[in-house]
């Protein structure tokens, strides 16, 4: 059996991002590789990059950051 390992890091914004957005990004990757003949087996963890927020005129800005959820928390 041949295996393919593909990294997955979702990207969402501070204000508009949700778990639904992350699920849609993962679904798109699974569908893409499924269309190529690969079979999805499992996901070990999900890392999401939350985009930085520039604030208003540079005030109140927030830096971007990663958040990770292991499989047993999903």
The answer to whether residue 21 scores a pLDDT higher than 60 is: yes
Between the CA of residue 10 and those of 17, 39, 67, what are the distances in Å?
A: 10, 20, 10
Whole-model pTM: value is: 0.61
Q: Which residue has the higher pLDDT, 34 or 17?
A: 34
Question: What is the spatial distance between Cα 27 and Cα 24, in angstroms, rounded to a whole number?
Answer: 5
4 part of a folded domain? no
Q: Express the helix, strand and coil content of the chain in percent, nearest 5 each.
A: 25, 25, 45
Q: How many domains are contained in the chain?
A: 1
What is the average pLDDT value for the chain, to the nearest integer?
Answer: 79
- Return the structure tokens found at 45: 């963890």
Which residues make beta-bridge pairs with 66? 49
Residue 54: which domain range?
A: 9-73
pLDDT tens-place string over residues 51-66: 777 777 767 777 777 7
């Amino acid at each position: 059996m041949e295996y393919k390992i593909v990294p997955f890091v979702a990207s969402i914004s501070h204000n508009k991002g949700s778990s639904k957005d992350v699920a849609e990004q993962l679904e798109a990757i699974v569908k893409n590789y499924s269309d190529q003949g690969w079979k999805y087996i499992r996901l070990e963890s999900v890392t999401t990059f939350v985009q930085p927020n520039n604030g208003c005129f540079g005030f109140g800005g927030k830096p971007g950051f990663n958040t990770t959820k292991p499989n047993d928390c999903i």
